[in-house]
Amino acid sequence: MARAKARTDAGGRGHALWREWARSLDRPLTSYYLILGTAVLLIALGLVMVLSSTMVKSITETGSSFSLFQKQLVSAVVGLPLMILASHMPQALFRLVGYPTMILSVALLLLTVFQGVEVNGATRWLDVGGLVVQPSEPAKLSFALWGANILARKDELRELTEWRHLLIPLLPGCGLLVLLVLLGSNLSTALVFLITFLGLLWVVGAPGRLFVTMFGLVLALAVIVIAIEPYRMARVTSFLDPGADPLGSGNQSLHGLYALGTGGIFGVGIGASREKWGFLPFAESDFVFAIIGEEFGLIGTLLVLALFGVLGYAGLRVATRVKEPFPRLASFAIVTWLMGQVMINVGAVIGLLPVTGVPLPLVSYGGSSLITTMVALGVLLALAKAEPQAARALEARGPSQVQRALSWLGLENFVASMNNRGGTASRRVAAGRGPRTPGPRGGRTTAKHRNGPVPAGDRPRRNRQR
């Protein structure tokens, strides 16, 4: 009887804890804190893994075990205030910067094609005053914000009922970015742009026939691009049978699997990886997940995947809970981009996909990727505040430290004006009045009458004084 009662009490406590955890997910700022917490944990993990995986390479190249880690640490230090600042910016500012950042990204990618730095046969980097950057990384964020703004504006104008409004100018913009990165032999980034493009079409509610057609075109483009380049075809064949060329095209895939197999369940211990001693190419960037599996084992890899899963869930939670079109589209685009990179990177390491050279977000070595991803997460944090309950909870708390700092710098009025600007169109749509568009004589009218003059019966009567 005593044992049965103890089991009953334990089961009751378990159910109570489960109910308390379920209730905690309904709190106003759950999405915000999930994104922030997972981002901090992944950044910290990334710094640890970069230190571990680059020590041998650093001491060989520079004589110091910490040279590459110091560069990654500097990138994290630069990205952290940018992420915090982005998390306090109004969504109207993100809509405003979409076009100029998109134009700047195209210009930098075009400059990279002609004057870029070539490494291992790929021209992906640009030397700017001695600082080597990868313009395709910030271009991912620019395309996500630009595409979300384009579709959100058309959604507010009720113009997403025809296929040409869904694809123009989104498809040409994506095609231009894809073309420029392909000219630099960067197929992996081109795939990320295409995945983000398909994600935007999906969330905006594109017809099934149109979505399937675009998906087929993306697959056809990928097949053509792979077929015309011998080294890409070699990667595909080595993916199908890495053991056929163990010292050539299959070398990286095989040593990635060796690292995962050596780690077992619990790993060989942090810093004790054997594959990083020159056996596994690009262990700090493309195959850092293999080093995680070797040093932390299956348990470590599952925890990393769980963190990315929580991050993806939180981003999708924001996309489903916000009311306005832009934060819904922008958050979904960012989540699609980041989770797409995770699936491509992990799939290549475990042998489910060909090796493409996509970094693992927040974990792989690379300053351009780390800073851009941190800014994107700052944007996602700002969009999480647009959830109705989150907005009310933050308003009840009063101004934050960052808002006080903006007020001290004299930027409080600018942020307030951007907030008012961003909410005008959404409030009009929510009120059922439609967006404001130019009237027939330079005045203002609603979407109900945007195609012609206001009928006489609808005109308000005014009492004239004589």
Structure confidence by residue, pLDDT tens digits, 447-462: 333 344 444 444 444 4
Confidence of residue 421 (pLDDT cuts 50, 70, 90): low
The DSSP secondary-structure symbol of 35 reads H
Average pLDDT over residues 17-28: 64
- Evaluate whether 458 touches 178 at the Cβ level (below 8 Å): no
Q: Higher-confidence residue: 394 or 236?
A: 236
- Evaluate whether 405 touches 88 at the Cβ level (below 8 Å): no
Please give the torsion angle defined by the CA atoms of residues 333, 122, 358 and 233, in that order, rounded to the nearest 10 degrees: 110
Q: Does pLDDT of 142 surpass 90?
A: yes
Average pLDDT over residues 18-47: 84
Q: Does pLDDT of 123 surpass 90?
A: no
Distances (CA, A) of 73 to 9, 80, 127, 141, 372: 49, 11, 20, 22, 14
Among 95, 193, 72, smallest CA distance to 151 is for 95
Q: Does pLDDT of 428 surpass 80?
A: no
What sign does the CA torsion over 227, 231, 234, 239 have? negative
Average pLDDT over residues 403-418: 57
Burial class (CB in 10 A: 0-12, 13-18, 19+), 430: exposed
Check residue 254 and give its pLDDT.
92
- Evaluate whether 226 touches 239 at the Cβ level (below 8 Å): no
Q: Higher-confidence residue: 175 or 245?
A: 175
- Evaluate whether 412 touches 343 at the Cβ level (below 8 Å): no
Among 98, 89, 208, 87, smallest CA distance to 151 is for 98
Average pLDDT over residues 79-102: 94
Rounded CA gap, 210 and 208, in Å? Answer: 5
Rounded CA gap, 190 and 174, in Å? Answer: 9
Annotate 281-350 with DSSP letters as a single string. TTTTTTTHHHHHHHHHHHHHHHHHHHHHHHHHHHHHHHHHH--SHHHHHHHHHHHHHHHHHHHHHHHHHT
- Evaluate whether 430 touches 439 at the Cβ level (below 8 Å): no
Check residue 422 and give its pLDDT.
52
Confidence of residue 268 (pLDDT cuts 50, 70, 90): very high
384 contact partners, CB below 8 Å, separation of at least 6? 29, 31, 32, 35, 314, 318, 331, 390
The DSSP secondary-structure symbol of 247 reads T
Among 170, 111, 168, smallest CA distance to 145 is for 170
What phi and psi values does residue 133 have, to the nearest 5 degrees? -125, 160
